Structure 1
């Protein structure tokens, strides 16, 4: 089974549209560092069910071991993003789910394989978990999740929904 680490934005986005189960169906379980848990549940400003992580046993909260490494990134990234990359290195993760552009650049620099919310939706369609992506993209936008217009069109083109 793949070792998958997720950042807060993809989890929040999928929860907002009622599709968090996609992660379970694709990967069985996912790991989040405690910093992501704090961002989503403790300090979260999003209008979502605050118990959704505890209510989904496939999401495993894991503490990072190398607290010192956080100091290297905290000037330009959020705590959760930094901990995702540290945890990915510590666990030798197969993939990280990250949407933030700058965090994705850091992850690539660290040779961490990444995907994002759009990649998850494309993989879910390819796997037969969902039938269409467009309604989900529209739901994300309705829930105030920003999707660049070009990305929106590209995802629909890849999904053969144009």
Structure 2
């Protein structure tokens, strides 16, 4: 069965900043709202996004666009984040990629399963796509080289999770 997810802009930009955008291939199909594509254009390279053959851009229209607007206002989300949540619900996709805490909360309230950039890296490691060393380096790069706000404590815990997984194998 194909694994599908929906993403907002955060993980796309953050993974692009550390040159790990290809790790989104932990899923077979990744839907993004048109607003996410537009936001990514400002903070990343659309060429890199187009190189990922798993990405499909979808326009959120009609009553779904109204729902996204209302959610944006209610939770203080941008339209890309709200659109991703509405799109996930509309398509029946439970997995959503976001680094925004408010978007995570709103997604969980709607029965979705949010994962951020670190979660994507950990999944790529567990799936054997990248090595332990590459994963730890990428986590540290997210902390030091990307615009994602990560505390030193969260970075340390993520590195420990990688090492614990290695020891458990």
Task: Give the alignment's TM-score, normalised by structure 1.
Answer: 0.89
Q: Does 1:158 align with 2:156?
A: no
1:3–1:93 CA contact under 8 A, matched in 2: yes
Q: Does 1:139 align with 2:137?
A: no
Which secondary structure state, in structure 2, belongs to the residue aligned with residue 121 of structure 1? helix
How far apart are the structure 2 equivalents of 1:72 and 1:147? 29
How far apart are the structure 2 equivalents of 1:79 and 1:146? 20
Q: Does 1:8 align with 2:6?
A: no
C-alpha displacement of 1:70: 2.0
C-alpha displacement of 1:63: 1.1
Match of 2:81 in 1: 81
How far apart are the structure 2 equivalents of 1:31 and 1:71? 19
Which secondary structure state, in structure 1, belongs to the residue aligned with residue 93 of structure 2? coil
The 5-angstrom pairing of residues 1-162 of structure 1 reads: 1-24=2-25, 26-41=26-41, 44=42, 46=43, 48-65=44-61, 66-75=64-73, 76-132=76-132, 133-140=135-142, 141-160=144-163
Structure having the larger proportion of residues in helix: 2
How far apart are the structure 2 equivalents of 1:112 and 1:10? 17
Which secondary structure state, in structure 2, belongs to the residue aligned with residue 111 of structure 1? coil
Which consecutive segments of 4 or more residues in structure 1 shift more than 4 A?
A: none
Q: RMSD between aligned alpha carbons?
A: 1.7
How far apart are the structure 2 equivalents of 1:62 and 1:97? 16
Which secondary structure state, in structure 1, belongs to the residue aligned with residue 82 of structure 2? helix
Show structure 2 runs of 5+ residues with no match. Answer: 165-169
How far apart are the structure 1 equivalents of 2:114 and 2:52? 23
Which secondary structure state, in structure 1, belongs to the residue aligned with residue 32 of structure 2? strand
C-alpha displacement of 1:97: 0.5
